[in-house]
Amino acid sequence: MTSIASLAETAAALGDPARLGMLSALMDGRALTAGELARVAGVAASTASGHLSVLVEAGLLAVERQGRHRYHRLASAEVARVLEGLMALSAARPRPAPVTGPRQAAMREARTCYDHLAGRLAVGIADSLIAHGHLEMSGDGGRLTGSGDSFLRDLGVPVRAGGTRPFCRPCLDWSERRPHIAGALGAALCTRCLEMGWVRRVAGSRALTVTPAGERGFRAAFGIRAAQSSGAISAAL
């Protein structure tokens, strides 16, 4: 059980704009150097070093060594889940004319949330799977039905359960405020969409671009219209 002291340590580690900026920069799953993270946070290298030590000690960051370089990445998918939740909570606070989620239209339409899909595209996929009886989702987990297992296997998405990571769980979308699919299944769906060339990563961003192949593929497989030009995504269920 989490102790009050460890909870306070985690909250304190998150309670700094520079540290939150560093963590947000790692939400696309990349590993960055201390110098790169210092530039992201707008702080000096010596200051960044202190911030990174706090984040590592709090278990929020992991460090990988490669030759003379040290790379920092989010310690786990659970850290990414907490950050996405904080983004949603922050945007949900009462304020005049609130804007939910990221301001960039591309980020709202399709992006990565650590290693799974997020944005309107991801919520549309979840809605489609549920509406067609392929997926059953509750507040704390999800399971594929027999038809869902067959559907995703035909699409080339591995549906193996097992290991310590949850197989499927709902993740409240930062911009849509409705769940998309996380866990091992969410990661597998994201990987397969990238492999098929349905989406492309945008350099230096968590945003994803829907390709012409993706526009056709998402419509055929999920009944989702994902317009490349405007990024508008809707379900045709």
Whether 96 maps to a domain, the answer reads no
Residues 175 and 125 in one domain: yes
Whether 98 maps to a domain, the answer reads no
Closest CA to 180 of 102, 237, 75, 109: 109
CATH number, domain of 37, equals 1.10.10.10
Q: For 14-45, what is each residue's pLDDT tens digit?
A: 989 999 999 988 887 778 889 989 998 999 98
Residues 65 and 110 in one domain: no
Q: For 52-62, what is each residue's pLDDT tens digit?
A: 999 999 999 99
Whether 138 maps to a domain, the answer reads yes
Residues 138 and 58 in one domain: no
Whether 63 maps to a domain, the answer reads yes
Whether 99 maps to a domain, the answer reads no
Question: Any residues with CB less than 8 A from the CB of 235 and at least 6 apart, and which?
Answer: 124, 127, 128, 131, 222, 223, 224, 225
Residues 38 and 121 in one domain: no
Residues 60 and 23 in one domain: yes
Whether 30 maps to a domain, the answer reads yes
Whether 126 maps to a domain, the answer reads yes
156 within 8 A of 197, measured Cβ to Cβ: no
Domain total of the chain? 2
Residues 111 and 223 in one domain: yes
Q: For 187-234, what is each residue's pLDDT tens digit?
A: 999 999 999 999 999 988 889 999 999 999 999 999 998 755 344 444
Residues 148 and 214 in one domain: yes
Give the separation between CA 208 and CA 111, rounded to whole angstroms.
5
Residues 69 and 119 in one domain: no
Q: For 87-120, what is each residue's pLDDT tens digit?
A: 877 765 554 444 445 567 788 899 998 899 999 9
208 within 8 A of 111, measured Cβ to Cβ: yes
Residues 59 and 110 in one domain: no
Closest CA to 72 of 55, 85, 84, 58: 55
Give the separation between CA 29 and CA 36, rounded to whole angstroms.
15
The domain containing residue 127 runs over which residues?
A: 104-235
